[in-house]
Amino acid sequence: MIRCCITDGGAEAIAASLLAGGADWVQIREKELAARELMLLVRRVMALPNPHSVKVLVNTRVDVAIAAGAGGVHLPAGSIAPCEWRGITPSGFLIGVSCHSMEEVLRAEAEGADYVFFGPVFAPISKTSDLAPRGLEELRRVSRGVRIPVLALGGITWENARACVEAGAAGVVGISLFKNVADAAT
């Protein structure tokens, strides 16, 4: 199971804890930072000890991810297609896409995404959403409908993470899920 933490403030401290154990991927999502500050933050995170080879992803900013040496980027639905970025990204660079429907997941796969975040599976914990929860059955349908990994997002807790994986998700994604890093490490 892939465990992915999305930062939403305090990225450096959260990443330092999670690089030591507790996550497989850390997505740096600090929307309030200008490009230069974000790049410097990601470089500081990339310089931290990373004994478990946690993959560091950058939210939305392909340029920042490449400049800082991150392992990938996560794009919102409706972004430039992942295949359009492949010519400038290094080998092994992950490109993922947020998706909210089967159509979006199929499009992301066809356009060369390495993985998708699908949701919200449940009602989000860390923010309000205009989107209705998609539920475990839709997660199951989407996960079975593509070859790329589908990670469950939205309202994920350690209590319902297993149900998401049993429904076919390759892993889980969250902000609140990792608020208590000690819980994440267990």
pLDDT tens, residue by residue, 143-174: 999 999 999 999 999 999 999 999 999 999 99
Question: What does the block give as tokens for 46?
Answer: 């990339």
Strand partners, 55: 25
Measure the CA–CA gap between 108 and 115, rounded to whole angstroms: 8
Measure the CA–CA gap between 171 and 44, rounded to whole angstroms: 26
Question: What does the block give as tokens for 67?
Answer: 């400049």
**pLDDT greater at residue 8 or residue 167:** 167
Tell me: the pLDDT tens digits for 10-46? 899 999 999 988 899 999 999 999 999 999 999 999 9
* Helix H or strand E segment including 99: strand 94-99
Residue 116: pLDDT band by 50, 70, 90 thresholds? Answer: very high
Residue 181: pLDDT band by 50, 70, 90 thresholds? Answer: low
Amino acid at 179: K
Tell me: the pLDDT tens digits for 102-112? 999 999 999 99
Query: For residue 183, what pLDDT is reported?
Result: 45
* Statement: the pTM of the whole predicted model exceeds 0.75: yes
Measure the CA–CA gap between 45 and 40, rounded to whole angstroms: 9
Query: For residue 182, what pLDDT is reported?
Result: 37
Predicted confidence (pLDDT) at residue 184 exceeds the cutoff of 70: no
Residue 97: pLDDT band by 50, 70, 90 thresholds? Answer: very high
